[in-house]
Amino acid sequence: MDASYAGSAAKALVMRTDLLPRKIIESLLEVSSPEDMLGLLDGTQYIEEVRVLKPFFSGYELLEVSATRRMVTLIGEISKAPPANGKDAIAAYTSKWDMDSIKSIITSKFLNKPLNEENLFIVDSNRFPVGIRGSVLSREDYKLMMNETSMDGIIKYLLKLGYGTYMMKYIEEYRKENDISILIYSLDIAYYENLIRSLKFFRGDEEPLRFYIREQIDIRNMMTIIKARELSLDFSSITDGIIPLGNLTLEKLRQMYDDSDLQTVKKNIMDYMHAEYGEDISSLTAGDVEIRLKRASLKGNLNRLSTQAGSLGSIFYTIIMVENERNNLRTIFAGKAYGMDREKIRELLFFNE
């Protein structure tokens, strides 16, 4: 065990005990009102988040924002402990919530639709989240970007923060095609290149974590293939949207795309990921497939990360489990709010047991 990681890995291990037991999460499925759910969370670590946020939110919104704030709190504590290279990797990973919020801002500007703070998930100096997305940039950054009058103004502001550099590479193509997906792609490239770069081989045991991150890129690319087949697009028309940083080569992705029909494409992709899909694959939407691919990736990688004692991998295991708990809770809260069937909600949850 590397002494530089021993303390931070031990702290992350202890913090796993702060995660909710599976029986409490599943018990939330059995009740029908936000008040009953709050009662079940009473006595857990979430009650502090509820206490702080109750003056500002109510009902399912209170539950969801409390889950987000709890995640931010725990990941914030984990990120304080590792040595510099570990902190850089955690910062690169959590910047995906920045990216989501920035995508919302540029999309709203492109569509000429107003966007309020409530449409984002912003964390200020008191770890106070607003809305449903994630961010580690300041609230002031977002206010300034939302007040920009043009896409060029937003990109220039993002240059100061490091994100605009990638967008500038694609700005002329965006102007020519008037296609917002070009700028969305530039942010994805920025995120994954920075994340892969941050996971350098400092100790030689980072490969399981690097594999997991590359597999998230694979999932994004495979979903691009499925959506292209749904729209009857040629493979050549989507190659510019493929991120060439995953485990799968462009040729392998082309082979997946060239399968005989859409249902075969879905089946072969899910078989590749060892994802469960039941007998009637034709009933699965693209969203259903993506959920199953992500669940299979978690199932296939988390145990390997958890056994890397005293490593960055074991620290990331805790971060991913904290994030997964928030995702499970959000799925339950949203499902209940929209009247989804209890068993359908249960199918969308993931437990690493």
CB crowding 250-269: b at 16 or more within 10 Å, else e: eeebeebbebeeeeebbbeb
The overall average pLDDT reported for the chain is: 87
- Supply the pLDDT for residue 122: 61
* Confidence band of 204 (pLDDT split at 50, 70, 90): confident
pLDDT of 352 strictly over 90: no
Q: How large is the average pLDDT for residues 209-217? A: 96
- Supply the pLDDT for residue 100: 86
Identify the residue with better confidence: 160 or 296: 296
* Confidence band of 251 (pLDDT split at 50, 70, 90): very high
Alpha-helical regions (H) of 233-341: 250-257, 262-272, 286-306, 312-337
Going by DSSP bridges, is the β-strand pair 122-123/129-130 parallel, antiparallel, or unpaired? antiparallel
3-state secondary structure of 1: coil
* CA distance readout (Å), 11 to 161, 267, 304, 338: 31, 41, 19, 38
- Supply the pLDDT for residue 124: 57
Q: How large is the average pLDDT for residues 209-232? A: 96
Measure the CA–CA gap between 82 and 144, rounded to whole angstroms.
Answer: 32
Please tell me which of 167-171, 197-201, 210-214 the model is most confident about, judged by mean pLDDT. 210-214
- Supply the pLDDT for residue 136: 57
Q: How large is the average pLDDT for residues 36-44? A: 94
Delineate the domains of the chain, giving CATH numbers in brackets: 206-307 (1.20.1690)
